Amino acid sequence: MNTKVVIDRSLIAWRAVAYVGGKITAASVAPTVLAETYGRLPPLDGDIYLGRVRRMAPEVGGCFIDLGVGEQALMPIEKKGDQVTEGASVIVQVTRAARGSKGPRVGRHITLAGRYKDYSALVDHAGRLNAPCPIWVTEPQMRVLSDVITKDTTEIICPPDIENTLAILVAEMGHDAQLTPLREAGGPFVALGLEDQIAQALATRVDLPGGGFLLIEPTAALVAIDVNAGADQRGWSQVNREAASEIARQIILRDLGGRIAIDFIAGRDSPDLRPLVVEMAKPLTQGGAPCRVIGPSALGLVEIERRRRDRGIIGDVPHFADQTLRAAERLAMTQPGRAIRITAGQSVFDWFQARTNLMTAIATQLGRAPQWVMDPGLKPSETRIEDYAP
């Protein structure tokens, strides 16, 4: 399978997708420092934190450490010299990221990297921090690249300005994928038609090749997915087959989690649904997010329990803010002599206005400070970008 990876960055986030035959199969997003959520993603192996001991747990031979993000981590205590007390601050390194129902595991033996190769420098820096908080975490470009790259990846496509950075990362990973800088206006995601696929990954309706469609409705309690035949006249089995494959892809792309209920066509009366569910479960259970697939039930429903990884195409405010910035950058590139107005709904407008450093960086990036307008008539996450004579 010839899999390619496309990666780029903005002032707000790094993002990467894997795609086969022009179709996205996996996606990952990680915020930059300017997005002010840097260091708040789930801990990965090797990340270093100034944690706080929350509870001694002699029943499991250790204690639980609050890292300031995600679940509390278990720190085994292997010898008397490692004894700590509740409430104490402690420098720890993640030895195993969260898996399934188990939270992360940490230890006090620190393997140093980057600017903290001198342990005394790390301790001095930690002394100026308030626990719990990150000291050193995996860089966003490494997070997104490692999320989507596989042994089948043959090519990594990127803008020219990050080619050298990626070359170093790929070498560190020991991968031999070809690195291809793409010098198209608007960047590789626009040139390859991937921006449209990202937008489609947030739509309620997803069309299937034969004329059927899915309706994906996240609610407070669960995510409901309904399979519909639509204009497809080929029969239930064929529609369900196409739907099963697309549902697995959509769950991964959207990073859908919690409880997911799928209503296939005639699920209670379809004898070939069970093997389809087995096939659908394979990419879900092989991914990085813990997942359990059950069914079909007596009512014909397929149920999925899956933990979100918080790095897919999630339709939250930072996602729409990032899309807004990327669109403004494309407009600034094509209209260099004109001013830019960004009209936004309340949520996106407030998100930008609360980040002074980011706003300053955007003005520098665009070569001009855009005019910001809040329009209560727009949806909270909706924006409109236009150029005008200064």
CATH 3.40.630 fits 203-306, yes or no: yes
Query: Is the model's pLDDT at 186 over the cut of 90?
Result: no
CATH top class, domain 317-388: alpha beta
How far, in Å, CA of 387 to CA of 390, rounded? 9
Give the Å distances, CA to CA, from 331 to 152, 159, 214, 339.
36, 17, 34, 10
CATH 3.40.630 spans which residues of the chain?
Answer: 203-306
**Using one digit for the tens of pLDDT, what is the confidence trace for 326-340?**
999 999 999 988 999
The structure tokens listed for 109 are 């033996």
| Res 386: pLDDT | 96
The structure tokens listed for 42 are 């789930």
CATH 3.30.420 spans which residues of the chain?
Answer: 3-36+141-197
Model confidence band, residue 91 (pLDDT cutoffs 50, 70, 90): very high
Model confidence band, residue 36 (pLDDT cutoffs 50, 70, 90): low
| Res 350: pLDDT | 95
**Using one digit for the tens of pLDDT, what is the confidence trace for 129-146?**
899 998 888 888 988 998
CATH 2.40.50.140 spans which residues of the chain?
Answer: 48-136
How far, in Å, CA of 34 to CA of 356, rounded? 9
| Res 32: pLDDT | 86
Average pLDDT (362-388) is 94
CB atoms within 10 A of CB 105: 20
**Assigned architecture for domain 3-36+141-197:** 2-Layer Sandwich (3.30)
For the full predicted model, state whether its pTM sits above 0.85: no
CATH 3.40.1260.20 spans which residues of the chain?
Answer: 317-388
The CATH H-level superfamily of 48-136 is Nucleic acid-binding proteins (2.40.50.140)
Q: Which residues contact 388 (CB under 8 A, 6 or more apart)?
A: 338, 339, 340, 341
CA 24-25-30 angle, to 5 degrees, is: 85
**Using one digit for the tens of pLDDT, what is the confidence trace for 237-248?**
889 999 999 999
